[in-house]
Structure 1
Amino acid sequence: MIDSLRSAMARRSLAGALVLGTALTACAAQAASFTMYRDPNCGCCLAWADHIEQGDRHSVKAVDHPDMGAIKAENGVPNDLRSCHTAIVEGYTIEGHVPAADIERLLAERPAGVTGLAVAGMPMGSPGMEHGDHRQAYQVIAFGPEGRSVWANYPANHGSAS
């Protein structure tokens, strides 16, 4: 009787350890470390980094760089998709004010042929470019060596600009 009780307790302990290990692995897989290259004179880049770090799920290391054109070229950012900052996360290039949810989807799905996401320019209302609840329409573009496609659409919102 005691041996069967010990055996049952051992099985429960093992099952509990497996569940805990799986949960910890899932949490670790969701967290990501970003390296963001930026012009030291640009303030919206740090606001975008704050957006990415909300909820303490991700961390962003900001690196001031005097030649952002070289960083963008080195990481394959198409000229017409360039913005103010370039981030690298888990081998992907993130250009500009891409929302965290779109990056998290990229990291979860890891689609073939996609090397990065970009929001061209600095659209008002995108993460880091907030202005009340007013938002210009913009797209998140997935890009890679074989081309590009629309990853997400964000319609204009002509709310109050406060």
Structure 2
Amino acid sequence: MNPSRRHLMLALAATPAALLAAHAQANPFKLPTVHVWKSPTCGCCTAWVDHMRAAGFTVNITEVDDTGPTRKRLGMPAKLGSCHTALVGGYVLEGHVPADDVKRLLRTKTAGLGLSVPGMPVGSPGMEMGPRLDPYDVLLVQRDGRTSVFSHYPKTKPQA
């Protein structure tokens, strides 16, 4: 085999390995399954589930008439409640938490109970209403109920 052909064959053989290595760097860990408790009739909860699936999460859903008992059982304070509750990788999620924040929490293994977006802020995942975006915070919730800001999403100017 001539040298140039040999180099080409070696390069082609190495390509799949290089692609796998690049994929492993881009996706350093397998995303755990998200288990969601939500009302069967809540459209914004369904939209949030779609957001999580689009971000690469597998989502299992349990439909309930009231998420309050689940929220309480998982330790999320009622004052931080929203319309759906989820559990992923040992963390509790409450409300319309962006998938990127969930991934960051899982990647950094931040100490705490989980994340909450209290209420239903317009513009959060699942609560999209055109160009309108209300400011909101994603709160890191500790097991004792204390919170701190994990991420802040500022209000944006309406587009002309």
Distance 1:54 1:133 in 2: 20
Shift of residue 122 of structure 1?
0.5
User: What is the rounded CA distance, in whole Å, between the counterparts of 1:36 and 1:93 in structure 2?
Assistant: 10
Q: d(CA) in 2 for partners of 1:87 and 1:26?
A: 25
Instruction: Measure the CA separation in 2 of the matches of 1:150 and 1:25.
Output: 28
Total equivalences in the alignment: 145
Report Cα offsets for 1:41-61 as digits up to 9, x if no partner: 211101001111115x21111
Q: Deviations over 1:55-78 (max 9, x none)?
A: 5x2111121013311000011111
1:8 is aligned to none
Instruction: Output aligned runs, 1:43-122, within 5 Å.
Output: 43-55=43-55, 57-112=56-111, 114-122=112-120
Q: TM-score, normalised by structure 2?
A: 0.80
For 1:120, the aligned partner's letter is P
Q: Classify 1:28/1:62 alpha carbon distance in 2 versus 1 (closer, same or farther; 3 Å).
A: farther
TM, length-normalised to structure 1: 0.79
Q: Which residue of 2 aligns with 1:137?
A: 135
Please give the per-residue CA displacement for 1:118-157, whole angstroms capped at 9, x wherever unaligned. 0000111100000112111110000012421100111112
Describe the SS at the equivalent of 1:104: helix
User: Displacement, 1:27?
Assistant: 3.7
Asked if 1 retains the 8 angstrom alpha-carbon contact of 2:137 and 2:149, the reply is yes
Aligned to 1:6: none
Contact 2:68–2:78 at 8 Å: present in 1 too? no
- Paired AA for residue 63 in structure 1: T
* Unpaired stretches in structure 2, ≥5 consecutive residues: 1-12
CA distance in 1, matches of 2:132, 2:84: 22
Q: Which shifted more, 60-69 or 115-124?
A: 60-69
Asked if the contact 1:136/1:155 (under 8 Å) is kept, the reply is: yes
Partner of residue 38, structure 2: 38
- Matched position secondary structure for 2:72: helix
- Structure 1: which 5+ residue stretches go unaligned? 1-12
What secondary structure is seen at the aligned counterpart in 2 of 1:157? coil
Q: Are 1:153 and 2:131 counterparts?
A: no
Structure with the bigger percentage of strand = 1
Quote the RMSD (CA, aligned, Å). Answer: 2.6
- Distance in 2 between the 1:152 and 1:82 partners? 17
